[in-house]
Structure 1
Amino acid sequence: MEFVKLDHPAAGVARLAIHRPEVRNALNQAVREQLAEQFSTLGKSSEVRAIILTGGDKVFAAGADLTEFAHKNAVQMQQRTVHLLWQSIAECPKPVIAAVNGYALGGGCELAMHADIIVAGRNATFGQPEIRVGVMPGAGGTQRLTRAIGKFQAMKYLLTGLPFKGEEAFAMGLASEVVDDEQVQARALELAQLIAGMPPLAATQIKEVVLAGQDIALDAALLLERKAFNLLFASQDQKEGARAFLEKRPPNYTGN
């Protein structure tokens, strides 16, 4: 059954929409597998320059599907190797924009944090409520949330399971932008089109260096940045960008 729908709303833009409305887009194994497959494929496509990840206008993803593992033991949970599916999303080289309306709780919040940009509706609801059912985040929630909003804010939400709205997510640095609920999808598409018009090699290098550099020493991260910066001067897009600037015309980036 297809739980993740793919469309291409604009040139260079792919949109993935989770579609399990009857359970508020709860993340079961099938959803994770389909997301992993789509991200792996889109990450290799020369036609795709930006990816929008959404659950639609009403809900992003209300969390993991508890019916799948409520009665499993530790060995059975380990054998699910769900982390390999999440890894396919984390390693996607293309810029990813999460368009978040409604609930983004538990695994849904963790999924949104795999994106590079989060556009949140004012009434979007984020949170990591796992502690309320006797467990803890298991797909990066303790680590990504702490890196995004800091230890003391993250501890508050991780230890209480309390939710927080789009405005709060923006104020804490989790959301890139907060807009009216009905504008979320349009704004995500606007940003995706803007990114799709940029040189894709530069976009890929920016994402790679930001993610690789955030957990290493500053000197090593700056070295990565310099190497990537210099490498881009071997691209045709760099030459096209310079020519277009000097000739005062729009550039035409080809990804070469």
Structure 2
Amino acid sequence: MTPDLLEFDQLAIHLGGREILSPTSFSVARGEFVCIIGPSGCGKTTLLRAAAGFVTPSAGAARRHGVPISGPSREVAFVFQDYGRALLPWRTVQGNIALALEAAHIPADQQPARIAKVLATVGLSAHAAKFPAQLSGGMQQRVQIARCLAQEPELLMMDEPFGALDAMTRESLQDELSSLVRTTGLTVLFVTHDLEEAIYLSDRVIALRANPTANKPSLAAMVEVRIERPRDQLLTKEHPEFLRLRRELYGFLGHH
């Protein structure tokens, strides 16, 4: 059995006197791609931030390799939705990627090779000297992903990274991300509002509910996605199991 990389043990979070996340427990195996869905305000991003060490739990614990998470780690990379604000406009593409290496104190003479490697991985080798304003939204998001890859994390957190992109760019990046994860063996925790995106990308979908109570805790559903990889934007979405999962999860989201 693949050992768990990440574990949520009765994790609860209160902010401003309100219970954002009721005691929630589940684990994420090494190499697993897990998507988190749910209505606005249900605590998806807050859960992600707790797993990244940005938010301190009010009760319970989040653990990585069995050790309580007490703060950010270079083993964990975080891709934000707002790629425009995540990049420094006065730095080139390679300069933005270098930020991760500078923070890790990688010697300057070792940085060019690592930057070239991740640029090739995300298909931006020809754009290394450009500034963010010279890139499309999809390319800017690729830069943010490349910067995360440069730090060579074992766990990638992604908070609606494709939500602001047009449909065709989003689908292209979904396929690139899926290929990247298969190649690198990264473990991914991915927040999205897009139900089809969650099913298409993940090995498992975690559904959260807003306004949890004792009788209706935050964790509402946990669904395995047993659809073969690699997946196809057209054929996979016509697969009977994909349609079944979509109906099941849509029923949950529609109810909430």
**Which TM-score applies when normalising by structure 2?**
0.31
Instruction: Kindly indicate which of the two structures has a greater share of residues assigned to strand.
Output: 2
**Using CA pairs below 8 Å that are at least 6 residues apart, which structure has the higher relative contact order?**
2
Report the structure, 1 or 2, having the larger helix content: 1
